Amino acid sequence: MDRPLGIAEARRRILREPFIFTGTGREYFGIWIVNILLTVATLGIYSAWAKVRRKRYFHGNTWLAGSTFGYHARPVAILIGRIIVLAILVAYNLLAQSLPIVSGIVAVAFLFLVPWMVMRGIRFNARVTSYRNVRFDFTGGYWGAFLAFVLGGLLAWSTLGILAPVASQWMWRYMLGNLTYGGRTIECDPRLEKLYRQWLLPFAVVVFGLVGLAGLGVALAALIQTGSLDPGALWGDDAPVFLVALLLYAGLVPFFLLFSLAGLLYRAGTRNVALDETVIDNRHLMESNIHRGRYAWIAVSNLVATIATIGLARPWAAVRMARYLASCTALHVTGSLDDYLNELAATGTAVGSEFMDLEGFDLGF
Amino acid sequence: MASEPGGEIVGRFYPAASSRRIEAQLVAAPGGTLIVTGKDGSVLGEWSAARTDIADRIGSTPRFITFADGSTFETLENDRVDALIAGRRSSVSGFIHDLERFHPRLALVVAAVALLAFGLYRLALPVMVEIAVLVTPPALPQLMSAAALESLDRTVFSPSDLPVPRRAAIEKVFGELAQHGKRGVGGYTLRFRDGGAIGPNAFALPDGTLVLTDQLVALAGEKLDPVAGVLAHEIGHVDHEHSLRQLYRLAGVTGLILLVGGDIGAGAEDLLIQGTALLALSHSRANEAEADRYSVRLMARAGRNPAAIAEFFEILRDRYSDRSELDFLSTHPATPARIREIRRLAEELAIAGE
């Protein structure tokens, strides 16, 4: 196999192909508002069709090496999935409300159901996604999902986030490492020390933020205690009600913001690490270089703009984020992307996929 | 590029199940066949148009035309594809695309969304809640109530220490009030508990179980009417089925938010769900006012002091105005406005009755 390379062959040996997102807020606005109109008008039934149109818009505007991605889910499959998932959620909540003895068992059963739904969801999404006429597939099993999502989640929470990178490693390995494209494997093995390097900043943000908040709380309590701040004088008769509301929201909102910010920084950092160690078909290398601060800024300003415009800026915000993420992602293509063959597979049901959709699992592709 | 209808559509062709990309063009030949040719004019394939899947148009994204054998033609020339399929298939997807196009008309769509969302919340949701309440089997509120009381008994409540005569007196009044309630004497059960950490409180469960804590009874001192006013208020909650309505309303709104969740983004979705909880809080205030009015009327019917509930709130206000025990106040605020409203209604009733 040691034959010398031809010039043309050598030249196309490694080519950096950036992802490009070409959608515009102007164009997506129409699709988005019609989606919402018809979803509300049909009491949610249209939401399945809306999801397909939205996904197709974003996939179809994501270019890699001169081709876009395709999304081929059938809306009816998604609708059935949504109905089943809503029924499960309603039944679960009713059971938990009315039979406390059984609800413990139901909660545990639900915990064991989640990995199955996540597995089916990733598989469904992979199988309905195509690039250059060839579909993706997902070969991850139940216990991999159990490890990545249930045990990983428990591990991260029970150690107050200190072991979160271990959970991230399991999750990325499971999600990306089990993907296949045209029957060829995709490998993803983010190294733990690299994940921990991305964990330092968000962890510091949480620690210093909590110290700051605690100081603020003590100062406020002292002010009320010494009488410098008199709630009764400020709000009159309704003071007790206002004070409760104030404590609830003034206390909870900063916590929420703090953890959201740390989450954004962490998510961006681990995406970089995971994609940088992702290899497709043993030869094409992924690259991700999100700037964490910029990512957090886009996410936060998007949310602020969306709220300030009572939602109308959402299409612009979604396109802005998609454009940024695409601009930070590239594929180092070795050789040609021409020789992949579709392995025809049934797409399966959308139940798991809809569970992830409705319960807000953000897989961040 | 030819622009006349029926001319060739420029794009790329992928052979069946392959990622090999070939620059190509597609023409519709007479007889309902689609022919794809390469740059050099070689025919790459011929298919029956009837068995070809042409994707709906989404913005200006590339259109996929998938042939029966799994080969695909991909093109950016959406208008030409539309011309190709004109009249051949239902126009629903074309209509949706036309609606989606950036045009001043979209302002109308925005207005329609706002109007629909408002109408849904104000008109359709209450109707659906009523229907849900009607079709709810009585076993469900019974199960839920038993479960709620059981978990409270296990966590905060302990058996009541109320002296037997006091208890008997309250039960007697309760029986009189129940007679005038919608469900009649057997429709309500009164349970006494030591409130523990919850303190002075009274609440109604959807199956008609009323819970009264010793601490609340103690607040009234020796008086009976304030306690009776509270019981009448709770019977009002049961008769109006407030807790079931609240539950269904919350479930309906949350369900719809979940369904548009993908369109509005996870952050905005969370905020909306929080906002719904706040709205539910304001609704619970409206329910409280309704139960207050019910208490006034029920007490009058039972031949007792209709303003008794106001008397209770005054006790509460005097007792807690200078202390920071806010638990009861936060859900049942004893505001002057509320007391005034009760007194006004009681007077009106007295005038009407004379």
Q: State pLDDT tens for residues B208-218.
A: 999 999 999 99
What pLDDT was estimated at residue A222? 80
Single pTM value for the model: 0.82
Question: A99-158 pLDDT, tens per residue?
Answer: 666 767 878 888 888 898 889 889 899 989 999 999 999 999 999 999 999 999 899 889
Q: How far is CA A273 from CA A15, A277, A285, A287, in A?
A: 21, 6, 13, 9
Q: Tell me which DSSP letter residue A341 carries.
A: B
Geometric angle at alpha carbon A2, from A276 and A335, rounded to 5°:
35
Q: Which of B55, B99, B117 sits opposite A34 (nearest CB)?
A: B99
Does residue A363 have a pLDDT over 50? no
Question: B52-81 pLDDT, tens per residue?
Answer: 889 989 999 999 999 988 899 999 999 899
pLDDT bin (cut points 50, 70, 90) of residue B5 is very low
What pLDDT was estimated at residue A351? 66
Does residue B339 have a pLDDT over 50? yes
Question: B94-130 pLDDT, tens per residue?
Answer: 788 888 888 888 899 999 999 998 888 888 888 989 9
* CB contacts, 8 Å: A40 with chain B: 113, 116-117, 120, 256, 260
What pLDDT was estimated at residue A242? 61
Q: Please give the average per-residue pLDDT across A220-227, as a whole number.
A: 74
| Residue A10 forms contact with B (CB below 8 Å) | no
State how far the Cα of B95 lies from the Cα of A93, in Å rounded to an integer.
Answer: 39
What pLDDT was estimated at residue A138? 92
Burial of A226 (0-12, 13-18, 19+ CB in 10 A): exposed
pLDDT bin (cut points 50, 70, 90) of residue B244 is confident
Specify whether the CB–CB gap between A170 and A148 falls below 8 A.
yes
Q: Tell me which DSSP letter residue A147 carries.
A: I
CA-wise closest residue to A23 among A320, A311, A288? A320
Chain A nearest CA to B177, separation (Å): 28
Does residue B87 have a pLDDT over 70? no
Which two structure tokens, joined as six digits, stand for B106?
């979209």
* CB contacts, 8 Å: A56 with chain B: 55, 58, 61
Specify whether the CB–CB gap between A303 and B266 falls below 8 A.
no
Closest residue in A to B120 (Cα) is A40
Chain B nearest CA to A41, separation (Å): 7
SS (H, E, C) chain B: CCCCCCCCEEEEEECCCECCCEEEEEEEECCCEEEEEECCCCEEEEEEHHHCEECCCCCCCCEEEECCCCCEEEECCHHHHHHHHCCCCCCHHHHHHHHHCCCCHHHHHHHHHHHHHHHHHHHHHHHHHHHHHHHCCCHHHHHHHHHHHHHHHHHCCEECCCCHHHHHHHHHHHHHHHHHCCCCHHHCEEEEEECHHHCCCEEECCCCEEEEEHHHHHHCCCCCHHHHHHHHHHHHHHHCCHHHHHHHHHHHHHHHHHHHHHHHCHHHHHHHHHHHHHHHHHHHHHHHHHHHHHHHHHHHHCCCCCCHHHHHHHHHHHHHCCCCCCHHHHHCCCCHHHHHHHHHHHHHHHHHHC
Chain A nearest CA to B348, separation (Å): 26
Cβ neighbours, 10 Å, residue A111: 14
Using the beta-carbon criterion (under 8 Å), do A241 and B329 form an inter-chain contact? yes
Dihedral sign (CA A291, A292, A294, A299): positive
Does residue A345 have a pLDDT over 60? no
Q: Which of A33, A44, A61 sits opposite B61 (nearest CB)?
A: A61
| Residue A347 forms contact with B (CB below 8 Å) | no
* CB contacts, 8 Å: A182 with chain B: 19
* CB contacts, 8 Å: B147 with chain A: 97-100
Which two structure tokens, joined as six digits, stand for B103?
């045009």
Query: Mean pLDDT over all residues of chain A?
Result: 85
Which two structure tokens, joined as six digits, stand for B185?
């004497």
Please, which residues have CB within 8 angstroms of residue B316's CB and are 6 or more apart in sequence? B200, B219, B328, B329, B332, B334
pLDDT bin (cut points 50, 70, 90) of residue B17 is confident
A91, amino acid identity: A
| Residue A303 forms contact with B (CB below 8 Å) | yes
Q: What percent of chain A has pLDDT over 70?
A: 82
Q: Which of B17, B59, B96 sits opposite A344 (nearest CB)?
A: B17
Closest residue in B to A264 (Cα) is B267
Please, which residues have CB within 8 angstroms of residue B270's CB and are 6 or more apart in sequence? none
What dihedral angle (degrees, nearest 10) is formed by the CA atoms of A123, A124, A127, A130?
A: -120
Does residue B345 have a pLDDT over 60? yes
Q: Which of A30, A35, A311 sits opposite B106 (nearest CB)?
A: A30
State how far the Cα of A290 lies from the Cα of A295, in Å rounded to an integer.
Answer: 7
A326, amino acid identity: A
What pLDDT was estimated at residue A4? 53
More confident residue, A66 or A256: A66
* CB contacts, 8 Å: A131 with chain B: 19
Geometric angle at alpha carbon A318, from A316 and A323, rounded to 5°:
95
Q: Please give the average per-residue pLDDT across A82-94, as a whole number.
A: 82
* CB contacts, 8 Å: A66 with chain B: 21
More confident residue, A346 or B9: B9
* CB contacts, 8 Å: B21 with chain A: 66-67, 132, 338
Chain A nearest CA to B223, separation (Å): 26
What pLDDT was estimated at residue B91? 66
Closest residue in A to B251 (Cα) is A90
* CB contacts, 8 Å: B327 with chain A: none
Residue in B12, B20, B205 to test binding to A, most A beta-carbons within 10 Å: B20
| Residue A312 forms contact with B (CB below 8 Å) | yes
Closest residue in B to A103 (Cα) is B147
Using the beta-carbon criterion (under 8 Å), do B21 and A338 form an inter-chain contact? yes
Q: Which of A44, A133, A306 sits opposite B255 (nearest CB)?
A: A44
What pLDDT was estimated at residue B82? 87
Q: How far is CA A355 from CA A114, A117, A118, A345, B164, in A?
A: 9, 7, 8, 22, 54
Chain A nearest CA to B164, separation (Å): 32
Q: What percent of chain A has pLDDT over 90?
A: 53
Using the beta-carbon criterion (under 8 Å), do B265 and A341 form an inter-chain contact? no
Q: Which of B20, B106, B110 sits opposite A338 (nearest CB)?
A: B20
State how far the Cα of B297 lies from the Cα of B233, in Å rounded to an integer.
Answer: 10
How would you classify residue A349: left for phi > 0, otherwise alpha for psi between -120 and 50, otherwise beta? beta
Lowest-confidence range among A339-353, B2-16, B239-253? A339-353
| Residue A106 forms contact with B (CB below 8 Å) | no
B103-126 burial, b at 16+ Cβ within 10 Å, e below that, comes to: eeebeebeebbeebeeebbeeebe
Q: Please give the average per-residue pLDDT across B243-247, as a whole number.
A: 86
What pLDDT was estimated at residue B86? 75
What pLDDT was estimated at residue B333? 58
Does residue B171 have a pLDDT over 90? yes
Using the beta-carbon criterion (under 8 Å), do A133 and B99 form an inter-chain contact? no
Q: Please give the average per-residue pLDDT across B290-302, as a whole number.
A: 92
More confident residue, B313 or A223: B313
Using the beta-carbon criterion (under 8 Å), do B264 and A97 form an inter-chain contact? no
Q: How far is CA A43 from CA B125, B259, B332, in A?
A: 10, 9, 34
CB pairs under 8 A between A and B: 188
What pLDDT was estimated at residue A346? 55
Q: What percent of chain B has pLDDT over 70?
A: 92
Please, which residues have CB within 8 angstroms of residue B88's CB and are 6 or more apart in sequence? B49
Chain A nearest CA to B218, separation (Å): 22
Query: Mean pLDDT over all residues of chain B?
Result: 85
What pLDDT was estimated at residue B330? 47
Q: Which of B17, B74, B113 sits opposite A33 (nearest CB)?
A: B113
